[in-house]
């Protein structure tokens, strides 16, 4: 059973004092279908009669007048007239119903957001499906109230559901809806859609009654009593308490109900005081926005909020007052977001996506306050609300967290009410500041009215050639205003459904920009010599047009492009009459491409061409880099977005001419152009824009393309000396004091774009030696990042050595030259990619040829560290793979090897610690060089080399067959070594054992010479005992290098040199024992007993060792008698 729905409250009180009850007796309150006589709508016949005068008049009254005013205007309204007014009062267009029942109309928003939305799930589509499947029933229209039931078919998971739907309407707008489905959403549910569309599409099937109060007036007393009693009987469980309460109040003489004239009627239409607007569930708007904000950008909440903003724009375009109402609700929730206070308290920045939502919020308010047909009191109310939000501490600032202190530029025009504020008292600009400033703007300027209303507005006799002239030399109108503000007017016109007027103003603005550009060029040419001599420049705009919060260039571009494509909806758009409080909205059947507006285009020019030229002018404007991370990121983002739009346009001959024209303007434009000869140090770089221009112009005018790209390569903010601001320039040029350490948060991105531009030029210049040389010079002059130069070197190398063609030797040389620059830049700095860079450079030099390899080895000290030069460069050059790759003959091989050996010896002299071994290796095949390297090692051994390095070289010498030299180096290494008693796991132990083994193998004399060094350097008892044991196993010199055995006796432990080693070992055990006993713990007792056992083995190697060990144990017992448990263990083991 369908859930009953509470009817919406009555809007006004109805009574008919002029009607007597006697004249109504016996009449029945009959009903007729909506499409009754005189309808002219819904007939089944293909031939339709002309509309009756009654219907024409009734339709106009139904659209504009509240029904109460009709009743007050006429004492008696004939019933047929009432019926036609009631009939025509229901909306006749499905467009608004669609707008209020889905996020997107026709999928525009979903397409722009990149999401695939299931159209069938949208309430509007589902409503159509319900209507077409016959799910709408019991449709009844009583006055201005429509009701019916909609059956939701059963699904596998849900049973069939019958929903009771009630709709109130007034002046062709649905003013309230209720549905039994309990829908909780911003938009109308599918059941409301189905019932609404039933009434729109099938009006002839809807039974229409006059308002219920009219029907009641036709009844006599008996009929009224019967009516009430039947009503109570049918719904007694629900209405009986209410009925009794009302009866009691009516019978009471002093009750409030008897003090009021008439009675409420929910079907009687609107009162004079009612606002005429479509139903919008304010509570649901607030709840949904609050929910989306609480999700913090997750679950697609950011996209949902953007769709809500799109819905506001859609409402504005339909000239629906709910647009401002809905934006107010959204803004209140944004201002109430608890994260604002938290971020302010913590000093953290909001996320980029959230920041963009605030930007859109500010832009929408700018559109709303610039609504050309809003009333003064309405604008005043908006201004109060905006100022209230603006005064809140947590209100976000316009450029992120920085707080730009620009003057009031929105009103920097003659019609501004207040002019510029004093800079000392300016507050930070919030996201609402521009909208607040825009409240001072108006549309009453006569010149402005003519521009937007008249396609024929020209003045061919106008000869005022001043800067602010109203017409150009062709007689076409100009509009001089702060460019972002003027473009905000265009956006407002488009947003409020006036595309033709927006187009006219956009064309006037673009023609003004063109004229200004020409004037600026002439001005600079007149002062060029003086400016270039002084080497100074200036910024012409405090605010850049690209990256501006109001996106002026994007607005002009979109307006012109949409017109060029015929995208604007021709059903909207009437001429504006700003002289009156209201504006006409007469519709025009021919709006496509607005042909009459073409009179303000050049011969053969199109809106598309004008849009492209506008974008080029905006992108090429010299503008200062704004403060703050977000503002700087926005500059980059907007520039890339606009270029992406331009890249969608196919270039024809006309557009190529425009590109050439603008390229010349930009190159010669002086301080007004970002590509002028001199630019301000902190101007926004032109790399991204120049790359696009270069790509477009290259096939048509290569010389101009390279001029643009090479001019754009500069990055003066990184230069130590840069042009300063010129404070004396006329014509509203704003000079900016340079900051010595500018905070460019996007510098890494900018440098990468600079690198991309250079790479694009290198690729294009392949095969052209002159161009490559020019590009190389530009890179070396302007790029300051070693990593980016290295990337360019790699790019050039790849392009030069493509598999499908012969290597381009000129480009290879460029690659090598860039690589050499990288080597010089990173030689004295830490760079984690340094080894990769060095290896790559050798590879590149190999591709260039043997002379390049020889050159880098000759000048190695300016490019490499000694370690890199020997371990990477020389080693790679000497490898077989390099010789094979270069196809070298014997003479060339020897020359290259000679250079490598010279390099190795130089490196060994400079850094013997790290290069000596590599030098010896590289010099093996040249006796003189090898001896020189060995002598370098000997010279450095006593001063700068560590025992580890010396042991490593000594082992190398033994491996190469120089045992005596190895022995010599080993003795030098031992002099640097010091092993304490507890270092029994030291990494040098193996080297010590190897050195002793080497000495032992060479003979008694060598062993006798090294043992004193061992005794001096090694204090670790276990190491000394291990050496001692090894020396007693064989006769010194017994095993020669060639494994020949010779006879001889074992060395005596009672004589030198082993006696000295034995005594040192016993002494080390004694010292170690006392050291260990000082801090020994019970858990180490067993380990200590084992240590004493090893000590006894060494003691016993002496002829009186038994006595010495016994005395040693007795001393321990006496000295450490306090350690009873330990001494007990000692007695048990050793007596």
Task: Read off the DSSP letter of residue 284.
Answer: H
Closest CA to 687 of 699, 675, 701: 675
Task: Count Cβ atoms within 10 A of the Cβ of residue 398 and give its class: 0-12 exposed, 13-18 middle, 19 or more buried.
Answer: buried
Residue 832 structure tokens: 């984690």
Are β-strands 145-152 and 136-142 bridged in parallel, bridged antiparallel, or unpaired? antiparallel
Are β-strands 173-179 and 161-170 bridged in parallel, bridged antiparallel, or unpaired? antiparallel
CB 153 within 8 A of CB 160: yes
CA distance 688 to 856: 35
CA distance 281 to 940: 89
CA distance 166 to 168: 7
CB 837 within 8 A of CB 793: no
If DSSP codes are grouped into helix, strand and coil, which group holds residue 105? coil
pLDDT of residue 33: 46
Other C-beta atoms closer than 10 Å to the C-beta of 569 total: 12
Phi, psi at 167, each rounded to 5°: -130, 130
pLDDT lower than 70: segments of the chain: 1-48, 104-120, 297-299, 400-427, 462-465, 531-542, 564-599, 720-742, 1037-1049
C-alpha torsion sign, points 29, 30, 34, 37: negative
Closest CA to 38 of 83, 77, 96: 83
Contacts for 13 with CB less than 8 Å, ≥ 6 apart: 260, 261, 262, 263, 264, 265
CA distance 443 to 566: 27
pLDDT of residue 1043: 42
pLDDT of residue 13: 59
CA distance 54 to 59: 8
pLDDT of residue 851: 93
pLDDT of residue 982: 85
CA distance 147 to 208: 11
**pLDDT by residue (tens digit) across 902-927?**
999 999 999 999 999 999 999 999 99
Three-class SS of 316-361: HHCCCCHHHHHHHHHHHHHHCCHHHHHHHHHCCCCCHHHHHHHHHH
Contacts for 538 with CB less than 8 Å, ≥ 6 apart: 671, 680, 725, 726, 729, 733, 734, 735, 736
Angle at 845 between CA 843 and CA 849, to 5 degrees: 120
Contacts for 1097 with CB less than 8 Å, ≥ 6 apart: 1025
Q: Residue 319: which region, alpha, beta or left (left: phi > 0; alpha: psi -120 to 50)?
A: left
CB 645 within 8 A of CB 654: no
Residue 539 structure tokens: 């910024």
Beta-bridge partner residues of 400: 397
CA distances from 341 to 337, 447, 1017, 1042 (A): 8, 46, 69, 85
pTM of the model: 0.79
- The alpha-helical segments, DSSP class H, found in 202-281 are 212-217, 221-234, 236-251
Write out the DSSP string of 350-402: PPHHHHHHHHHHHHHHHHHHT-TT--HHHHHHHHHHHHHHHTSTTPPBTTBTS
Beta-bridge partner residues of 397: 400, 430
Give how far the C-alpha of residue 944 lies from the chain's centroid of Cα atoms, to the nearest Å: 54
CB 332 within 8 A of CB 286: yes
Half-sphere exposure for 598 (CA within 13 Å, toward CB):
15
**pLDDT by residue (tens digit) across 483-503?**
999 999 999 999 999 999 999
Angle at 270 between CA 268 and CA 272, to 5 degrees: 130
CB 650 within 8 A of CB 708: no
């Amino acid at each position: 059973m369908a859930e009953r729905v509470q009817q919406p409250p009555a809007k006004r009180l109805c009574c008919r004092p002029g009607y007597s009850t006697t004249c109504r007796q016996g009449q029945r309150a009959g009903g007729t279908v909506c499409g009754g006589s005189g309808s002219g709508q819904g007939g089944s016949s293909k031939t339709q009669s002309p509309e009756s005068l009654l219907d024409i008049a009734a339709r106009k009254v139904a659209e504009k007048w509240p029904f109460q005013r009709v009743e007050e205007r006429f004492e008696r309204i004939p019933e047929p007239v009432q019926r036609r007014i009631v009939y025509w009062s229901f909306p006749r267009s499905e467009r608004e119903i669609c707008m209020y029942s889905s996020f997107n109309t026709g999928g525009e928003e979903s397409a722009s957001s990149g999401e695939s939305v299931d159209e069938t799930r949208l309430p509007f589509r589902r409503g159509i499906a319900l209507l077409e499947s016959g799910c709408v029933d019991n449709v009844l229209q009583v006055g201005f109230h429509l009701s019916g039931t909609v059956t939701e078919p059963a699904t596998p998971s849900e049973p069939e559901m019958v929903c009771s739907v009630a709709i109130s309407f007034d002046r062709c707008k649905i003013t309230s809806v209720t549905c039994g489905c309990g829908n909780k959403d911003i938009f109308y549910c599918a059941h409301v859609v189905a019932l609404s569309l039933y009434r729109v599409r099938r009006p002839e099937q809807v039974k229409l009654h006059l308002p219920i109060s009219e029907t009641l007036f036709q009844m006599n007393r008996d009929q009224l009593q019967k009516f009430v009693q039947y009503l109570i009987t049918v719904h007694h469980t629900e209405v009986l308490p209410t009925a009794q309460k009302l009866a009691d109040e009516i019978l009471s003489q002093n009750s409030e109900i008897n003090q009021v004239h008439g009675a409420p009627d929910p079907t009687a239409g609107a009162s004079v005081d009612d606002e005429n607007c479509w139903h919008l569930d304010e509570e649901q708007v607030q709840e949904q926005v609050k929910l989306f904000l609480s999700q913090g950008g997750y679950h697609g909440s950011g996209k949902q909020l953007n769709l809500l903003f799109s819905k506001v724009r859609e409402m504005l375009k339909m000239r629906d007052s709910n647009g401002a109402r809905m934006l107010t609700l959204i803004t209140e929730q944004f201002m109430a977001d608890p994260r604002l206070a938290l971020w302010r308290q913590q000093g953290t920045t909001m996320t980029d996506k959230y920041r963009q939502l605030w930007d859109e919020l500010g832009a929408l308010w700018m559109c709303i306050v610039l609504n050309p047909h809003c009333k003064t009191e309405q604008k005043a109310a908006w201004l109060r609300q905006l100022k209230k939000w603006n005064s809140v501490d947590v209100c976000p600032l316009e450029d992120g967290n920085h707080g730009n202190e620009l003057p009031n530029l929105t009103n920097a025009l003659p019609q501004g009410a207040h002019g510029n504020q004093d800079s000392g008292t300016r507050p930070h600009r919030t996201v609402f500041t521009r909208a607040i400033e825009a409240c001072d703007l108006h549309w009453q300027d006569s010149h402005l009215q003519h521009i937007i209303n008249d396609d024929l507005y020209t003045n061919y006799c106008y000869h005022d050639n001043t800067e602010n002239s109203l017409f150009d030399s062709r007689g076409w109108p100009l509009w001089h205003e702060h460019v972002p503000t003027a473009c905000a007017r265009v956006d407002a016109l488009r947003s409020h459904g006036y595309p033709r007027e927006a187009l006219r103003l956009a064309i006037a603005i673009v023609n003004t920009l063109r004229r200004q550009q020409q004037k600026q060029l002439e001005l600079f040419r007149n002062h060029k010599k003086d400016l270039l001599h002084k080497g100074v420049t200036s910024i012409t705009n405090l605010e850049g047009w690209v990256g501006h919060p109001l996106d002026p260039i994007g607005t002009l571009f979109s307006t012109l492009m949409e017109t060029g494509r015929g995208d604007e909806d021709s059903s909207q758009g009437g001429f504006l009459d700003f002289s009156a409080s209201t504006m006409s909205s007469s519709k025009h059947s021919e709006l496509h491409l607005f042909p009459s507006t073409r009179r303000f285009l050049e011969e053969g020019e199109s809106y598309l061409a004008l849009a492209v030229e506008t974008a080029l002018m905006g992108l090429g404007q010299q503008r200062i880099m704004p403060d703050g991370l977000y503002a700087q990121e926005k500059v980059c983002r907007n520039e890339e977005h606009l270029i992406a739009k331009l890249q969608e346009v196919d270039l024809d001959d006309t557009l190529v001419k425009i590109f050439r024209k603008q390229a010349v303007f930009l190159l010669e434009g002086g301080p007004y152009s970002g590509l002028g000869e001199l630019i301000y140090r902190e101007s926004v770089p032109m790399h991204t824009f120049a790359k696009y221009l270069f790509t477009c112009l290259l096939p048509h005018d290569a010389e101009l393309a390279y001029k643009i790209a090479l001019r754009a390569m500069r990055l003066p903010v990184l230069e130590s000396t840069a042009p300063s601001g010129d404070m004396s320039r006329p014509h509203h040029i704003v000079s900016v004091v340079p900051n010595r350490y500018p905070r460019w948060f996007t510098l890494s991105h900018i440098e990468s774009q600079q690198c991309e531009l250079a790479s694009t030029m290198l690729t294009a210049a392949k095969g052209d030696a002159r161009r490559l040389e020019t590009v190389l010079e530009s890179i070396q002059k302007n790029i300051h990042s070693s990593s980016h130069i290295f990337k360019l070197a790699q790019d050039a190398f790849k392009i030069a050595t493509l598999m499908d063609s012969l290597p381009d030797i000129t480009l290879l040389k460029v690659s090598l030259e860039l690589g050499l620059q990288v080597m010089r830049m990173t030689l004295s700095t830490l760079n984690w990619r340094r080894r990769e860079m060095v290896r790559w450079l050798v590879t590149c030099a190999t591709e260039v040829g043997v002379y390049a390899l020889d050159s880098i080895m000759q000048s190695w000290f300016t490019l490499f560290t000694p370690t890199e030069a020997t371990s990477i460069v020389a080693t790679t050059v000497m490898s077989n793979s390099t010789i094979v790759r270069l196809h070298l003959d014997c003479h060339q091989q020897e020359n290259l090897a000679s250079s490598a050996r010279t390099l190795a010896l130089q490196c060994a002299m400079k850094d013997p610690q790290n290069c000596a071994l590599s030098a010896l290796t590289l010099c093996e095949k040249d006796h003189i060089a090898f001896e020189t390297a060995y002598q370098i090692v000997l010279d450095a051994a006593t001063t700068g080399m560590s025992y580890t390095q010396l042991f490593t070289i000594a082992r190398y010498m033994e491996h190469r067959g120089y045992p005596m030299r190895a022995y010599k180096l080993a003795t030098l290494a031992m002099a640097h070594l010091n092993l304490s008693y507890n270092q029994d796991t030291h990494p040098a132990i193996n080297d010590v054992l190897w050195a002793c083994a080497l000495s032992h193998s060479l003979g008694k004399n060598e062993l006798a010479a090294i043992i004193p060094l061992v005794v001096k350097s090694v204090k670790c008892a276990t190491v000394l005992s291990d050496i001692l044991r090894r020396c007693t196993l064989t006769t010194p010199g017994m095993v020669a290098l060639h494994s020949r055995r010779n006879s001889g006796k074992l060395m005596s432990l009672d004589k030198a040199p082993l006696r000295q080693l034995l005594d040192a070992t016993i002494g080390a055990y004694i010292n170690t024992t006392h050291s260990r006993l000082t801090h020994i713990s019970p858990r180490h007792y067993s380990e200590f007993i084992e240590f004493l056992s090893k000590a006894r083995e060494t003691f016993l190697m002496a002829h009186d060792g038994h006595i010495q060990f016994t005395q040693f144990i007795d001393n321990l017992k006496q000295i450490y008698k306090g350690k009873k448990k330990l001494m007990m263990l000692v007695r048990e083991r050793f007596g």
